[in-house]
Copies of this chain bind each other. A is one copy, B any other.
């Protein structure tokens, strides 16, 4: 899938509400309300609507998602679909859904400890889990992090996949994390 990550004028089909001054957020919101978003966005929104749990699987690029997935967030989770003002965080439109970040890192687990050079891994989860997912109302399950598979042995890699498979068997029984600053920055 070669998803378009750029949020542009092309995302709105037909006329925009203010052609003199293009404001992406405003125009996407208006287009969402009248069903005038471009089809690749609508297709993705339908998938989200049907899902009980959305799993984001990605390699960590610069402490975040690769741009193609960031663009999915930017374009698909627009105002009117995923949230409104008011209508965010616990009142976000996706509040009856679960979300989970499953990611692989380049750095080792030791680098992502509070005392490691890259700081606690929870620090970089804040914008993604709280700022984006929780903002849309998602209840966030604990992240699945596979540290440094590139430098792991074949056996270690198999163990990572096996533990993820094992977890998925009982994923519906899990309680979401408490998506507040203490989870990310507390002791």
Contact surface of A with B, Cβ cutoff 8 Å = 2, 5-7, 23, 25, 61-68, 70-71, 73-74, 77, 89, 106, 114, 117-119, 123-124, 126-128, 130-132, 135, 150, 181, 184-185
Contacts and interface: CB of A to CB of B under 8 A. Distances in A.
Given A73-B62, A185-B185, A67 B126 contact: no
A5 B75 CA distance: 14
Contacts of A7: 61, 66-68
10 pairs of A and B residues whose beta carbons are closest in the complex: A63-B131, A67-B71, A63-B127, A5-B67, A62-B132, A67-B70, A5-B5, A124-B127, A67-B67, A185-B185
Which of A70, A123, A131, A181 counts the most B-chain CB atoms under 10 A from its CB?
A: A70
A37 B143 CA distance: 34
Given A62-B135, A119-B130, A185-B185, 15 more contacts: A5-B5, A5-B70, A7-B61, A7-B66, A7-B67, A61-B70, A61-B73, A63-B128, A66-B70, A67-B74, A71-B71, A123-B123, A124-B127, A124-B131, A127-B127
